[in-house]
Every structure is written in structure tokens, then in C-alpha cells.
Chain A
Amino acid sequence: MTRLAEDVEQTVPIVSNDDVVRARQLVRTLAQQCGLSLVDQTKLVTAASELARNTLVYGGGGAMHCATVRRDGRRGVHAVFEDSGPGIPDLDLALTDGWTSGGGLGLGLSGARRLVDDFELDSRTGVGTKVSVTKWAR
């Protein structure tokens, strides 16, 4: 499946709490540009907030790359969260509701997956973690 980038990708470094806010705001702006419904905008921005926080808290910081995309005539928002942290040793476990390695509720990763249309998780121990998500306009 080809996913064509419509615009230049924008990058937000995620190294502090206010960067999480900035990442959310950029995703919201792009979601509005794409004509995502209000509910879908809310879902995507919430997922972005969870993933940006994971990048900061568990990944020790990283970046979000975000762009509007187009596939089969539909527009969407694609966001990638990347860090060079310790990685996730057990991906299945990390995607389980309620499981957390930190002090959270364990809903970040599994919840974010439910809130978007496409979700890819790539993590290598000692190398880092990359989570890619896309939400399409209906």
C-alpha cells in the first residue's frame, strides 16, 4: 500500500513536557487540515499525546515526525515517534492493556493503537523504539 506524503514532513523534538504539548498541537493542526471529523481529531491527538509521552518518559526523549498523507483519494495524518532509548523487550506484553514498566496506567501504547487506523511498532532492545500511526479521513 502506497502512502504518499502530501506535504513536507515536520519534526518536533520531544525532550521535555512542553514538547509533548507542541507535538499534540502540530498533530491537531494537520488533522484539521485533512478534514478529520471532530471525534477522529480527538482520537488522533489523544493517541499522539500518549505516544509523545512514551517517547519522553520511556525512550528518554526523541522526536515526532508528522505529515499529511494521501492514499486512494483519502487524506490522513501520519506521525512517527522515534527514540534511541532502551527499547521494548516484549512487544506483545507492552501492547497489553494495564501492563506498564513505569508508573503509568499501561494504557498508552495499547490505547493509542485502538485510537488510530494504522499502527506499526518497531523496537529493538538497546537501539530504540519507533511507533508509526496514521488516521484517515472518512
Chain B
Amino acid sequence: MPKHRIIFLTILFVFTAWISGDEQGVSADEVKTEAILLRIKQASSNIESLEGDFVQKKKLEILKDMPDSYGKLYYMSPGRLRWEITAPVIMGFIINGEHGKKWRGKDGRSMKFDLSREPLIAAISNQVFSWARGDYERLKAGYDISILSEEPVEIRLRPISPVEQKYIESIDLAFSEEESHVTKIEINDKKGGSTQISFSNMKINPGLSEEIF
């Protein structure tokens, strides 16, 4: 191929790429976000189930001092989640597909709930499901995503839906070194309070009994 023709094709290619990039409005940040999301997706692609402990720290304006709470998390693909606090109080919830159930106290009495009416439970479970499944389209549809740190990966989500916006300012997520799962979630609410959940002892693909959910 003649040299001038190669130069021409190269210019044409660069120009076309520039034009199309401009048309779609893809910024450098977005490209970076996409790349990181893709990395996380690849790292978490083999996750079928998760089991781990967590510590929850809350800052609430109406309490003098709120003690940390401790609990366990169980996840099973595609849409099952058990979230339980075991100390200092007993409570938790289970999401099983469309159905939600929550309980409070030792007597174990539970009540069904509608996920759409529990935006904070929905936010937590959505995070777990989306990151475990690599369902970034869903995340991108619900949140403005920005990268806080690349190594280790830290991401900030700001809700788009008016219902979530009413209560949630932002959700910050920190990922494990291998980028396969979330190690910390921090939910900042509109009133200035925050909920920080740190995960530990995470087991990837443990054998979980169906009865847990």
C-alpha cells in the first residue's frame, strides 16, 4: 500500500474516532470509570455466593453515641441476600427475588415488606447484587458514578431517582485488593448522618444452604 494512502487512512481513522467520541460525549473520566468497572466485572465474574461478617458504624443526630453493630452477610446468585445484625440488637432482612422479609428481636417474628418502600434496604441490596453480578448497566441507570481512587478501587455513587435522592446523598464503596468484592460501604444521608459498613472474613463461593434465605 502506498505510503500516502496509509497516512490518509490513519488521519481518517483518528478524525472519525474523534468525531464519534465527541458525538457521544464520552469524557476521559467516563472512559476511566468504564475501564475500572470492566476490571471489577472480570474479577467478580465467577462469584456465585458470598459469606462474610460486617461491622456497622452509624452517626445519627438524635443519639448521643451509637454503639457499633455486628452482623453477617450471605449472598447467593442471582438475587438472594440475607443481612443480619446479631449484636447489640437482633434484626435483619432477607431478599429473595421479589420478596422481602425483615425481623427484629429475639422472638424471630418477621414481616414481609416491599423493597420499593424501603429505599435504604433497596440501596444496600442493590449494591450487593449489582457488584456481585457485575450488573453495571443497572448501576449506571440508577446512579451517577465517579471514581474516588484507582488503587485500591473506591467508587462514589450519587442516586438519580428522586425517591433515593430524598434520603441518600451518596454511597461510597471500597473494593478488595483483587477487586472481586466490596470491603466497605458508606452511605451518607441527606440529614448529615452516615452509615459505614465494613466487611471482613469474606468467603467467595462458599457452600450456602438454601434455608438461609
Partners in one complex: no
Q: Which residues of A contact B (CB under 8 A)?
A: none
